Amino acid sequence: MGRLKLVDELKTILAPERVVTNRTVLEQHARGESFDEAALPDVVVYPESTQEVAEILKYATENRVAVTPVAVNSSLEGHTVPLLGGISLDLTRLDRILEFRPEDLLVVAQPGVTYPQLNKYVRRSGLFFPVDPGAHASLGGMIATNASGTAAVRYGVTGDYVLALEVVLPTGEVIRTGSRARKSSSGYDLTRLYCGSEGTLGVITEVTLRLSGLPEAASAARVPFSDAESATTFVTNLIQAGVPVARCELVDANSIRVVNAHQGTRFPEEMTIFLEFHGNPPGVAADLRLAEKLARDSGALLFESSSDVKERERLWEARHNMFYAAVAANPGKRNITSDVAVPISKLPVAVSKALCAHRDSGLNGYLVGHVGDGNFHIVTFFDGDDELAKVEQLNHQMVTFALSIGGTSTGEHGVGVRKLKYMELEHGGSLELMKRIKRSFDPHTVMNPGKKIPGVN
């Protein structure tokens, strides 16, 4: 269909000012946050209701126009790139919290609400949504990628908190999955199927999330080690001891170095584990004592800890600032973040191998890991096509090694475009079942084509 006709017809569905073809806006919707191949959409639309999303999808399916959903656009794997042009469906105006029921520990929100906004809203009731992927992500995007982040080791991933969804199917039909009960064995678990479906099976227009009680107390620790082996051994011992660590992050020496340079701090420039514990005050104190003992047994160089809120913030500062410090240390360069997860006991070898390969390549790579889950990322800076090819080679090695030891090609960032080529290797015969699901939910493949499941477009 011609672009002018598409735009004209969309203006019969939405108020004309919410059907945008302004070049700047198209460019903002051409790529995600990481380095992605860019592609311009033909048009960006801003629905303000489920009904409007339904009419857009019905129109898109009838006219075989590709639809790429997007909100905060913090995707790192190209999920939001409109590879085939068409409609960029911007959900940022679906940004209302519709219902908050503290007595049921649940909240109902639209997909454009970000998780920091949600937490600000519910905090006064002593509850919180504990999934913390960073990047001020939207709830819809978090569900679409089954995001997780630093607190997953204790609290689980986004999917563990989604009780119910409203979804617009490609035909425009609106369905509801799940219920307000905290568990169910009724029907197939469509709610969970939509978690991590990356906008390829429909558009999430309403989410019902379970909340947790804010812990009474918290404590934090920073624990440097002289090498990856001893740092990750400590983590394995901690998890196996049944200590309910709330956050457990690894940051490599290189990253600490750029943080010190950027912030003027003097953190020991070593492989460092950052810990947080949640619970009641005596429980948290006991967790901290056990963690310190295990850390010293594994050869920790130091064990700095505190339960004071300001001091906790200071202890975690290097972790929080790592990405921005790395960007500052690599002026003018682009970066790609890769993400894998491996069985916990394989962390030492996987992390060491990735760091060695980066060192040998001559490229600057910075490693951070949600190591309590066996999940880690490396952000690599590069310049020009030769270096880009090197980054791709490094990431390819990292992913294929993770798969060879029983891991996964993505722990939390999702497949998007860049991991598509590993789906056959990772999933084998079960990929065919995924294709059947995709084809039976979206027979005309208008939903986010070219992402998540290869070979269906």
Q: How would you classify the pairing of strands 67-70 and 87-90?
A: parallel
The least distance separating its own copies from the CB of residue 125, rounded to whole angstroms, comes to: 8
List the structure tokens of 454: 């290869």
What letters, b where the CB count within 10 A reaches 16 and e where it falls short, cover 342-373? bebebbbebbebbbebbeebebbbbbbbbbbb
Shortest CB 349 distance to its own copies, Å: 12
Question: Nearer Cβ to its own copies, position 126 or 134?
Answer: 126
Which residues, 6 or more positions from 75, have their beta carbon under 8 angstroms from its beta carbon?
Answer: 32, 33, 34, 141, 145, 413, 414, 416
Residue number with CB closer to its own copies (12 or 280): 280
Residue with tokens 């919290």: 97
Residue 144 C-beta: closest distance to its own copies, Å = 10
Please, which residue, 137 or 258, has the CB nearer to its own copies? 137
- Provide the minimum distance between the beta carbon of 352 and its own copies in the complex, in angstroms, as a whole number: 16
Give strand pairing partners of 379. Answer: 337, 366
- Determine how many CB atoms are found less than 10 A away from the CB of residue 116: 12
Greatest alpha-carbon span in the chain: 69
- Alpha carbon distance 214, 123 (integer Å): 8
Q: Which of 437, 448, 441, 436 is nearest to 173 (CA)?
A: 441
Q: How far is the CB of 14 from its own copies (least distance, A)?
A: 24
Nearest to 221 by CA among 149, 293, 280: 293
Six-digit token pair at 327?
């960007």
Q: What's the closest the beta carbon of residue 40 comes to its own copies, in angstroms?
A: 26
